[in-house]
Amino acid sequence: MQSSRNVKPPVFNPITGAIRALAMDAVQQANSGHPGAPMGMAEIAEVLWRHHLKHNPANPKWADRDRFVLSNGHGSMLLYALLHLTGYDLPIEELKRFRQLHSKTPGHPEYGYAPGVETTTGPLGQGITNAVGMALAERLLAAEFNRPGHEIVDHHTWVFLGDGCLMEGISHEACSLAGTWKLGKLIAFYDDNDISIDGHVGGWFTDDTPKRFEAYGWQVIRDVQGHDPVAIEAAIQQAKADTARPTLICCKTVIGAGAPNKQDSHDVHGAPLGAAEIEATRAHIGWHHPPFEIPAGVRAEWNARNKGAALEAHWSASFAAYRTAFPELAAEFERRMAGELPADWRDHVDAVLAKVIDKAETIASRKASQNTIEAFAPRLPDLLGGSADLAGSNLTMWSGSRSVGPEGGGNYVHYGVREFGMAAIANGIALHGGLIPYTATFLMFSEYARNALRMAALMKLRQVFVFTHDSIGLGEDGPTHQPVEQTASLRLMPNMDTWRPCDTVESALAWACALERRDGPSALCFSRQNLPFQVRSADQVAAIRRGGYVLSEAEGAAQAVIIATGSEVALAVAAQQALAAEGIAVRVVSMPSTNVFDRQDPAYKAEVLPAGLPRVAVEAGVTDGWYKYVGLEGRIIGLDRFGESAPAGELFKYFGITAEAVTEAVKSLLK
């Protein structure tokens, strides 16, 4: 132990010994992993999980459970050990299969694999950010549903995090907001062990972390001895007593504590201890049991099933009384925590669509999006909007928007200029349940949020990402603000449904599909400039849900197909008309979502895009993604360079994205 850091060593016992043993044995068997954090945080975990965490291992989805987030996700064996020991459905066989194909114990915690894993962590900083979202969701739902004497939403969010999380800039974005929002039920434990993968962090991380968090408005409990259960208990009590501020408990620890020759070094961070060091560790901590063997007495001390059942039973009785007193609120709470839409949702969508069609407006699709929110939100109190300091440009507020602040509830979050933090906080909100988050920025700045978008897709979260100013059509702000490759890259992201609507009808249905989707997020890309309304039959309106459809059929036998999306659909229709005047019959296919279209059955896709017909695609963005539809022999009108600063109309002409260019491309294929 480094005496200069004044870290009090652990007093080893079988209770914490079980965590250390499972962590080092699983990593050794996998020949891969990170034993250091689990061994260094064993005492913190023991105090929290055995004495404070409100959970029921038999029902990991209990609505009012505490949320626990292991933000330093490389220490996954700590979480798996805790879940196993406390009685979750994670048998010892799964720990033996740590990091193996199709196990419930992957290298980093993955949401949906093992019960009790609240979020996928691994990309450092996003776990704490998810936790901020969970704590915000708890606060908002409490404000909405709790009544005097009936506190049915009342739980904490706990986070373990390390130096790496704090180095990542996203931690600043999220923790700054947590302080501003006064999320008093958010409590984080900082594993201050002075080590990252490259070694002692003094060469690259010298921040005064306590001062940093005090500046955010957090309660900071400094210099807690992280191996002393008494000190940890006192810190937790102090944290829970301050309900007006989130708390950071700064725990001085030794990474790999218990490994006599490797502790307090990067050697124990991301590699197995090795057989010799494990043998020495067993002797050092007094653990005299074979690998993966937990004595019955130790198991009994850890088992939380009886306590968890009692906690949930108490809550269930309280909720029964709540249901008697407030039956409508209780039913609404249950609907929302189940992730269900209102029973009349489809009827409501149809009614909204009928009004949109009747109005036949030519407006920017960002405005069409706002109109859709205005129509849907009153029926969906679950909706929690927000934008990264662009509410007036993204047009994501509606007449019933109420800003979220430090007190009470609200349904619209002003995230400030924090695109990454915004998206990851919204992931935490979605994970918590009871709310459907949508967030907004310019499409260009999806780049700042990229990894949080990926995490939403990876975890299959119901999240709606609203991206406006979707092309060079935003004009004068220039190439720094003009997305070129962003729509294409979003389409490439597995499990992300990307929509780029061409008018008010497609915009409304893109929103409907995004809200109805329960197995992944959606990215909605909207224009700044006005887009003309397109006339459709009822069957064509219904076909929008299939991602691509015949918008305008050829007059006579089609000689070619033009495929377009978003603002370029109008160019395709204009080209069709020009070609018809020359006796050339072409079909126009609108493809608002290539992702959804690609999931359709082969017969439908062949019906929309018949084999043998020459194809031209047009979109004001990079061209590569369209070759799968037009083939190498087809033509693509697009943009494979960065934009320029000028009015939108001039830019489309300058880059050759015009109806005339589409017309000429079709004619070139028919020569």
Residue numbers annotated as active site: 419
Rounded to whole angstroms, the Cα distance separating 647 from 642 reads 15
> What's the one-letter identity of residue 41?
M
Sign of CA dihedral 112, 118, 124, 130: positive
342 burial via Cβ count (<10 Å: 0-12, 13-18, 19+): middle
**Contact of 20 with 258, CB cutoff 8 Å:** yes
The pair phi, psi for residue 407, each rounded to 5°, is -125, 145
Rounded to whole angstroms, the Cα distance separating 41 from 397 reads 43
Return the beta strands (E) in 453-531 as ranges: 464-468, 497-499, 522-525, 530-531
The pair phi, psi for residue 487, each rounded to 5°, is -60, -45
* H or E element that contains 40: helix 36-40
Q: 448 CB contacts (<8 Å, ≥6 apart)?
A: 419, 420, 441
Q: 338 CB contacts (<8 Å, ≥6 apart)?
A: none
CB atoms within 10 A of CB 147: 11
43 burial via Cβ count (<10 Å: 0-12, 13-18, 19+): buried
Rounded to whole angstroms, the Cα distance separating 167 from 523 reads 29
Return the beta strands (E) in 8-72 as ranges: 67-70
Instruction: Give the DSSP letter of residue 403.
Output: B
Q: Find tokens 């007036």 and name the residue.
A: 392
Q: CA nearest 96: which of 160, 33, 37?
A: 33
The pair phi, psi for residue 191, each rounded to 5°, is -80, 85
Rounded to whole angstroms, the Cα distance separating 344 from 351 reads 11
**Contact of 540 with 550, CB cutoff 8 Å:** yes
Q: Give the length of the chain.
A: 671
> What's the one-letter identity of residue 475?
G
Q: CA nearest 158: which of 60, 224, 247?
A: 247
Return the beta strands (E) in 19-70 as ranges: 67-70
Question: For the CA atoms of 642, 644, 649, 650, what is the dihedral angle to 10 degrees?
Answer: -120
